[in-house]
Amino acid sequence: MNLRDCWLEPIERIGIIALEAMLMEAACAPAPGLVDRFNSGAHQDMDIFTFLKSSSTLGPAMQRCALAGWEHIGPAEELLTALRNIGKNAEEAMFEATNGVNTQKGLLFLLGILTAAAARCVQQGYKGCIIEGTLQEASQICRGIVERELAVLNNTLPNRKLTAGEQLYLTFGITGIRGEIAAGLPVIKTKGLPCLNEALAASLSLNDALIHSLIGIMTETIDTTILNRHDMPTLVLVQKSARSILAAGGMLTESGRKQIEELDSEYSLKKISPGGSADMLAVTYFLYFLKQRM
C-alpha cells in the first residue's frame, strides 16, 4: 500500500457516510413537517428530488472537509477557516443545483466540521470511542465561535443586515448551531443516538429507527428553523408533542406510529418544519455508522 492509499480509503469512507446521512435523513418517513420520500411536508419550494440533487452536490465537499481534517497540523480551531472556505464553495454549488433553494446549508456546516473531526481522530489513531472523539474534536474546531461571532453583537452590531442566527441570539440569547457544536452536540448524545440504538435493538427497520430518533431529537432541540418561521410558543408545542409521542412509545408502538402520522399531516398544513431536528438526525446517522465502519 502506498502513502496515498493510506489516507484515501478512510477519507472516502468518511465522505460516503456523510453523504448517506444526508440522503437517509431526506428519505425517511413519515417525518413530521419535513420533506421525505412521500411528501414535501411544510415546504412548497422543495421535494425529495431537490434534496437528492442537493446532497449529491454536497458529497464531494464532505470528502474535501475530511481531507482537510486529515492533513491539518496545529490547533484544531485553526482548521475552521479552511472548512468554511470549502463550505462556501459547496454552498454555491448547492444553490445552483436547487435553483436558489436552501435545502441543507445548516447541515453542510455541521457535517463539514464533523467529517474533518472524524478524519483527525482516525489520522491520530484515537483509541477510544470514535463518536466521543469526533464530537470532542468538533467542539475544539469550533472553540470560541460563540464568543467571536455572537456574544460580540451585545457590544457592536455589524454594518449589514443581521443573519437569522444573529437575530435569534439578540432576541432570545439562543446560540443555535454554533453553540450546539461547540458544546459537543448534547442532544445527539442524550436523545439522537440513544433513541436510534433503542429502535434498532428492537429490530425496527432503519427507516423506522430514524423516525424514532427524530422524535427523540425534537423533544429537546432548540429548533431555529421553527423559530425563524414561527415563534417560541410554536417551538414549545413541538417539543411537548414530541415528548408525548415518545412517552407513547414512538415508532415502537402502534399508538406512537399513528400519532407521528397525524403530526406529519398537522405540521404540513400549519407549515411547521423542524429543520434543525432534521439536521441533528443526519448527524446522528453519521456518528452511528462512523462507529460501525471505521
What's the pLDDT tens digit per position in 96-110? 999 999 999 999 999
Using omega within 30 degrees of 0 as the cis cutoff, is the peptide bond preceding 30 cis?
Answer: yes
For residue 6, the model assigns a pLDDT of 57
Query: Taking the model in full, what pTM does it have?
Result: 0.95
Q: Which of left, alpha, beta for 31 (phi over 0: left; psi -120 to 50: alpha)?
A: beta
Please name the residue ranges forming H helices in 72-173. 80-97, 105-123, 130-141, 145-149, 164-172
Contact (CB, 8 A) for 56 and 149: no
What's the pLDDT tens digit per position in 148-196? 999 989 988 888 888 888 899 999 999 999 999 999 999 999 999 999 9
Task: Give the Cα separation of 242 and 195 in Å (integer).
Answer: 13
Report phi then psi at 142, rounded to 5. Answer: -100, 15
What's the pLDDT tens digit per position in 238-286? 999 999 999 999 999 999 999 999 999 999 999 999 999 999 999 999 9
For residue 1, the model assigns a pLDDT of 45
Cell numbers for 159, please give them.
454594518
Mean predicted lDDT score pLDDT of the chain: 95
